[in-house]
A and B are shown apart, each in its own frame.
Chain A
């Protein structure tokens, strides 16, 4: 018995000591040690770092007169979007802004990808305005693409809406570029036609032109 106690006592003491030591695990709030921080962090300003050159302390703003670098193909469209964020600009865009790209199945496929990344959580997979955020009661009043209010919306107004936002929809200009906006607009038009039961592309074009004509008429009035 005495021998057993003699064994149990020290062994358990050592085990307790080990448990205590190993409980000092690394702190998730601290990144840990580095061998040579100088080799890790260069002196140049990084994209999301701080810099003393901008008033707000961010290194992100380019210096004055920096020329934006765009793809040569899209450069002409990047110049400026001439329509202001007003009711008049919206109507004008509806008449004058047109898709410069030819529409192909691949183009629509790209549009579907953009749609499923940037639009689907509010507008829903079929464009019925019943996305996951609406289903979960986070958002309300998202119109259906084939509902009465916007089923005749011309593509220019869609572009204007993506560019500036409309009502409770914010501007998505910072997230999707010029080409991607047209890809997604063509896909939205496809969803709308599916919802309305229109299959051929020519009839879609027709609704656009009639809507555009109506818009022109309302402006000239």
Chain B
């Protein structure tokens, strides 16, 4: 009897295992099918895209045959005059769902999978969040490490000083004890104020005082010089922006070209701060970021008065007030297109490793010396027809010596009026 029941149990277990196996296989297939055929307009969650989110689709379409017909050819199905289908069509801006070349079984598997809200997106989002957390923590640690190192040094120094003092006083009291025992009576030292003590110490150790004061003077002079030279130089300026936009995530990890957002860089003086519609090219779909979730992307929606539920823009739009990082004084002219399109200078040669910056900071000093330095060193492409004539003039100049380089400077790139007018 026991044997039989064991056999039955085993059978049931195998049967269940087979069913589960079949189910998971189906789920994987459905996920693949969904990605290939549906994902450009639908999400398997509540989130609306071009079409409705497909979670709980069964409850909305009580007649499965109708739903299958609708998926197979929506334009034909609309002609049957089905009330719900027509309502959907109007609700989602009359966008046509293309006819899907799928079998009934495939569609049913898809409906099964989407009805319970899919499975892949949640885990993917979780992974992303975890990764981002790790990265964030790492960045924080490196940022604070140099500061905390300094504080540890100061504390250790302080402890050592206290220790020296204590040992000193112990030593002197021991000495006086020994002297007492020997019968030598030492005169108690006269009580002095610390300044008096310091004066006596200084007059006894003139060399040390001289060396220390020399270092102090040098240090003060250097600090003063650096401070004066740093006036008007914004190098290292990394203001907090109204949206925590990460260039590391967008330009680094996702490898989006600089020009995608800064599309004016080859055409105009300015590289362009992208308008919010450029953000929306991707963030219509990507509504949650790996690091800050919906909070930061929500700020784009707020600026555009956009409702991700209905996918409509409201009237109360206001510009995002980004804080300018790189700012040349008004009396200096700079043109991006000239440097990028003609000079073929890479973005990173002036802006530094932008693709690894969480917060953008000014990499180069942007001083006149820095500009001039590059204009002196950079050689011009002689094969460019535009510079052919100028190169001839340059070579025929009586001042020309063999081996002189044809640089921006020799084209007149060091003239005052090139940039100041």
Query: 8 new A-B pairs (CB below 8 Å) besides A10-B208, A11-B212, A60-B319?
Result: A6-B201, A14-B215, A16-B157, A23-B147, A32-B233, A121-B260, A133-B254, A175-B278
Residues 128-142 of A contacting B (Cβ, < 8 Å): 132-133, 136-142
A87 to B93, CA, bound (A): 10
Q: Which chain A positions have C-beta within 8 A of B215?
A: 14
B71 interfacial contact with A, CB 8 Å: no
Q: Is A29 an interface residue (CB 8 A)?
A: yes
Q: Are the CB atoms of A121 and B255 closer together than 8 Å?
A: yes
- Contact call A5/B168, Cβ cutoff below 8 A: yes
Contact between A167 and B40 (Cβ–Cβ < 8 Å)? yes
The answer for the CA separation of A168 and B280 in the assembled complex, in Å, is 10
Contact indicator A174/B275 (Cβ below 8 Å) = yes
Q: Does B41 contact A175, Cβ atoms closer than 8 Å? A: no
Please report the C-alpha to C-alpha distance between residue A139 and residue B212 in the assembled complex, in whole angstroms.
64
Given known contacts A16-B158, A56-B319, A117-B259, A29 and B254 CB-to-CB distance under 8 angstroms: no
Given contacts A7-B208, A13-B161, A48-B273, contact A118 B150 (CB under 8 A): no
Which B205-262 residues have C-beta < 8 A from chain A? Answer: 205, 208, 212, 215-216, 219, 230-234, 236-240, 253-257, 259-260
Query: Is there contact, CB below 8 Å, between B39 and A40?
Result: no
Q: Which residues of B contact A57 (CB under 8 A)?
A: 318-319
Q: Which residues of A contact B257 (CB under 8 A)?
A: 116-118, 120-121
- Give bound CA distance, A176 to B168, whole Å: 78
Partner of B154, one of A19, A32, A175: A19
Q: Does B286 contact A (CB under 8 A)?
A: yes
C-alpha spacing A132/B49, complex, angstroms: 21
Tell whether, in the assembled complex, residue A35 and residue B164 are in contact, meaning their CB atoms are under 8 Å apart.
Answer: no
User: Is the CB–CB distance between A29 and B277 below 8 Å?
Assistant: no
Pairwise interchain contact A39-B331, C-beta atoms closer than 8 A: yes
Q: Out of A12, A136, A143, A170, which one reaches B40, CB within 8 Å?
A: A143
Q: Are A118's CB and B161's CB within 8 A? A: no
State whether B124 touches A118 (Cβ < 8 A): no
Q: In chain B, what residue has the closest Cβ to A8?
A: B164
| Cβ contact within 8 Å between A12 and B212 | no
Chain B residues, Cβ within 8 Å of A72 = none
Q: Please tell me if the beta carbons of B40 and A141 are within 8 angstroms of each other in the complex.
A: yes
* A40 x B154 contact (CB < 8 A): no
Chain A interfacial positions (CB closer than 8 Å to B):
5-16, 18-20, 23, 26, 28-35, 39-42, 47-48, 56-58, 60, 86-87, 116-118, 120-121, 132-133, 136-143, 148-149, 165, 167-172, 174-176
| Separation of A41 and B277 alpha carbons in the complex (Å) | 29
Interface centre among A5, A118, A175 (most CB of B within 10 A): A175
**Bound-state Cα–Cα, A133 to B286, Å:** 11
CB contact under 8 A between A118 and B259, given known A42-B330, A48-B324, A170-B277: yes
Interface size bracket, B side: 35 or more
B263 CB–A CB distance under 8 Å: yes
CB pair B232 A141 closer than 8 Å: no
Closest to B322 in A: A48
Contact status A138-B35, CB under 8 Å? no
Closest Cβ neighbor of A23 among chain B residues: B150
Taking the complex as formed, is B5 at the interface, i.e. its CB lies under 8 A from any CB of chain A? no
4 closest A-B pairs by beta carbon, nearest first, are: A141-B40, A141-B39, A170-B281, A140-B39
- CB <8 Å contact, A56 and B259: no
Q: Are B254 and A18 in contact (CB under 8 A)?
A: no
Which segment, of B94-102, B367-375, B410-418, faces chain A?
B94-102
**Cβ contact within 8 Å between B212 and A174:** no
B317 part of interface (Cβ distance < 8 Å): yes
Instruction: Enumerate chain A residues within 8 angstroms of B37, measured Cβ to Cβ.
Output: 141
Given contacts A56-B318, A141-B41, A175-B263, contact A10 B212 (CB under 8 A): yes
With a CB–CB cut-off of 8 A, which chain A residues contact B273? 48
Residues of B within 8 A of A165 (CB): 281
Given contacts A118-B257, A141-B41, contact A31 B318 (CB under 8 A): no
B-chain residues with CB within 8 Å of residue A120 when the two chains form the complex? 257
Distance from A109 Cβ to chain B, minimum over Cβ atoms (Å): 15
CA distance A87 to B75 in the complex (A): 12
Assuming the contacts A18-B219, A29-B238, asked whether A140 and B40 have C-beta atoms less than 8 A apart, the reply is: yes
Residues on B with C-beta less than 8 A from A8 are 164
Are B236 and A26 in contact, with the CB atoms below 8 A? yes
Task: Pick the residue among B101, B161, B231 that contacts A32 (CB under 8 A).
Answer: B231
Q: Which residues of B contact A48 (CB under 8 A)?
A: 270, 273, 322, 324
Q: In the docked arrangement, what's the CA distance between A10 and B197, Å?
A: 13
Given the complex of chains A and B, what is the CA–CA distance between A176 and B159 in angstroms?
65
Residue of B nearest to A61 (CB): B319
